[in-house]
């Protein structure tokens, strides 16, 4: 099922756009802090993919479980709107959501868990989905993975059991066309849709970035997940930044193509005054949070 969306931005709510822009500002700030030597370890930004968790969160309930991956800042922020807890976690400062021991990739909070180990979360999410089916019918487990993670065998064990036991498992695939430095065309035989079909699992392709349209498209299928029909939703998206900090191996032409397809360009074109106003707000918010967190004591 493909939806090509015509006028992204026209129906986008102010709060959703604000959070898409805030996540973007947060990610740019992280790269900036790295450049200044103020951040250590690694981090993977979701630049270009911010609309995915914002759209998905609109379909979830706080009582649903969310499992995130190495590129998870947007997943966390779209769910909790907690800029300072996450930045403090990444910087190892007081007020960090996991006391500063999890860092960028390993966050645990309420019904949210992320891991930097590719594919690790799928069997865990399937187990939680089984628990929800028994103990809290109507809730679901949502797990975000990248296209490259279809190279992990654990993904198929989880899909098999999810289909067999009719688990409320929602797999959100952020297919950004590349896994670190390997293009999807060089690592994935067949298709993600074909792999879901092999297990009798439904698949929805989202080939657009208009948040209200995406929610309209997914509303029915996600209700089906709650009733025990596991689902793979594949977003055709793009990574605007490097894999982590400065490691982008793509050609200039490929990068230009990704930038041309950036949701932000179309949102700006739809309503430049609103876009600019919210972008100023988002940047100011992140800037003030960053200044405050940098000044904190170590966690
Ligand atoms: C089991 C495992 N193998 C290798 C890695 C190193 N690694 C981190 S991210 C990544 C690529 C992931 O690609 P994809 O799933 O497409 O997600 P994307 O980075 O594009 O968001 C790799 C190989 C890892 N984290 N875990």
Q: Tell me the per-residue pLDDT of 146-158, one tens digit each, with 9 for 90 and over.
A: 999 999 999 999 9
Say if 128 falls within a structural domain.
Answer: yes
pLDDT, tens digit (0-9, with 9 covering 90-100), for 34-58: 999 999 888 999 999 999 999 999 9
Distance CA 71, CA 58 (A): 20
Distance CA 160, CA 4 (A): 30
pLDDT, tens digit (0-9, with 9 covering 90-100), for 225-282: 999 999 999 999 999 999 998 889 999 999 999 999 999 999 999 999 999 999 999 9
Whether ligand 1 lies within 6 angstroms of the CB of 115 is answered as no
pTM of the complete model:
0.96
Say if 132 falls within a structural domain.
Answer: yes
Percent of the chain with pLDDT over 90: 94
Say if 107 falls within a structural domain.
Answer: yes
Pocket test for ligand 1, best of 148, 187, 237, 254 (most atoms within 8 A of CB): 148
- Residue 179: pLDDT band by 50, 70, 90 thresholds? very high
Whether ligand 1 lies within 6 angstroms of the CB of 73 is answered as no
Say if 292 falls within a structural domain.
Answer: no
DSSP string, 109-153: ETTEEE-SSTTTHHHHHHHHHHHHHHHSTT--EEEEEEGGGGGSH
Say if 291 falls within a structural domain.
Answer: no
- pLDDT for 26 equals 98
Say if 285 falls within a structural domain.
Answer: no
Whether ligand 1 lies within 6 angstroms of the CB of 234 is answered as no
- pLDDT for 7 equals 54
Place of tokens 């868990």: 113
Pocket test for ligand 1, best of 73, 124, 179, 243 (most atoms within 8 A of CB): 179
Nearest atom within ligand 1 for CA of residue 175: 16
Say if 232 falls within a structural domain.
Answer: yes
Say if 270 falls within a structural domain.
Answer: no
Burial classification of residue 152, based on how many CB atoms lie within 10 Å of its CB (0-12 exposed, 13-18 middle, 19 or more buried): middle
Q: Which domain holds residue 170?
A: 14-260
Which residues of the chain form beta strands (DSSP E)?
65-68, 108-109, 112-114, 141-146, 169-175, 178-179, 182-183, 202-206, 231-236
Tokens of 259: 């930038």
- pLDDT for 4 equals 43
Whether ligand 1 lies within 6 angstroms of the CB of 116 is answered as yes
Provide the 3-class DSSP secondary structure of residue 175. Answer: strand
Overall domain count for the chain = 1
- The predicted model gives 284-295 an average pLDDT of 98
HSE-up of 252 (CA within 13 Å, CB side)?
A: 0
CATH number at residue 212: 3.40.50.970
Whether ligand 1 lies within 6 angstroms of the CB of 74 is answered as no
Q: How far is the CA of 76 from the centre of ligand 1 (A)?
A: 18
Single out the residue of 36, 57, 87, 38 nearest to residue 211, CA to CA: 57
């Amino acid at each position: 099922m493909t939806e090509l969306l015509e006028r992204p931005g026209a129906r986008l709510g102010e709060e959703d756009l604000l959070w898409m822009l805030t996540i973007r500002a947060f990610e740019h700030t992280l790269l900036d802090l790295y450049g200044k030597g103020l951040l250590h370890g690694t981090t993977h930004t979701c630049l270009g993919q911010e609309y995915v968790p914002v759209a998905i969160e609109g379909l979830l309930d706080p009582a649903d479980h969310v499992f995130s991956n190495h590129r998870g800042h947007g997943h966390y922020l779209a769910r909790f709107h907690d800029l300072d807890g996450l930045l403090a976690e990444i910087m190892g400062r007081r007020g960090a959501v996991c006391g500063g021991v999890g860092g960028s990739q390993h966050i645990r909070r309420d019904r949210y868990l992320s891991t930097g180990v590719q594919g690790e979360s799928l069997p865990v999410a399937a187990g939680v989905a089984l628990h929800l089916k028994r103990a809290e019918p109507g809730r679901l487990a949502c797990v975000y993975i990248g296209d490259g993670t279809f190279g992990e065998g654990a993904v198929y064990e989880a899909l098999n059991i999810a289909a067999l036991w009719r688990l409320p498992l929602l797999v959100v695939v952020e297919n950004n066309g590349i896994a670190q430095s390997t293009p999807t065309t060089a690592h994935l035989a067949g298709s993600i849709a074909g792999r879901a079909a092999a297990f009798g699992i439904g698949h929805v392709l989202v080939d657009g970035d208009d948040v209200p349209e995406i929610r309209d498209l997914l509303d029915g299928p996600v209700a089906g997940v709650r009733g025990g029909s596991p689902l793979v939703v594949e977003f055709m998206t793009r990574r605007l930044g490097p894999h982590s900090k400065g490691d982008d191996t793509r050609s200039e032409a490929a990068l230009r193509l990704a930038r041309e397809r950036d949701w932000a360009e179309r949102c700006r074109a739809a309503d430049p005054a609103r876009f600019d106003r919210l972008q100023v707000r988002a940047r100011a918010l992140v800037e003030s949070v960053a200044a405050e967190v940098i000044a904190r004591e170590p966690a």
